[in-house]
Amino acid sequence: MTAQPRTEAGDVLTDVIMRTFRLYGGFLEAAEVMTRPVGLTAAWWQVLGAVLREPLPVSGIAREMSLTRQSVQRIADLLVRKGLAEYLPNPAHRRAKLFRPTEAGYRAISSLTEAQHAFTNRISAQVDLDDLRTTLAVMERLITAVDADAAKTDVDETDATGTGGP
């Protein structure tokens, strides 16, 4: 079977994907620099940041961040052992406990505010505000398209194999 040729839009999207990987790497490196002085890591910040407004089960954090449940579970358990987070009973699900920061976790995240604001202000000063808004809107549309494609692919694989997977 020969591969279908990529369209011009497919070529551009490939470039967007590759630049997104590069940008994500830069953001992670900046996050590591910001978190190091307060004893966190970028991954810990990500997981704690997902539950600042409301507690969530680990599976909900993983879904929101497009990570595996197992990787989030490892970080969540470590944060609990470090006293930066805790598990709470979940009235909606007996086994899937809710995860939230402790006061120490909130303090650690709060201590990042100055560095995070300085970083985002420095970077955003180099890009037009309307361009940032357009980028955000396009990213949201791409996330929706990728999620819809993943859901369709899951359904197609279930239909083809009867097992939900390859």
What's the whole-number mean pLDDT along residues 134-145?
A: 97
CA dihedral over 154, 157, 162, 163, signed as positive or negative: negative
pLDDT at 159: 52
Closest CA to 109 of 39, 33, 59: 39
pLDDT tens digits, one per residue of 34-72? 999 999 999 999 999 999 999 999 999 999 898 999 999
Indicate whether 157 pLDDT > 80. no
pLDDT at 165: 47
Any idea where the domains of the chain sit in the sequence? Answer: 25-126, 128-160
pLDDT at 166: 44
The CATH architecture to which 25-126 belongs is Orthogonal Bundle (1.10)
pLDDT at 78: 98
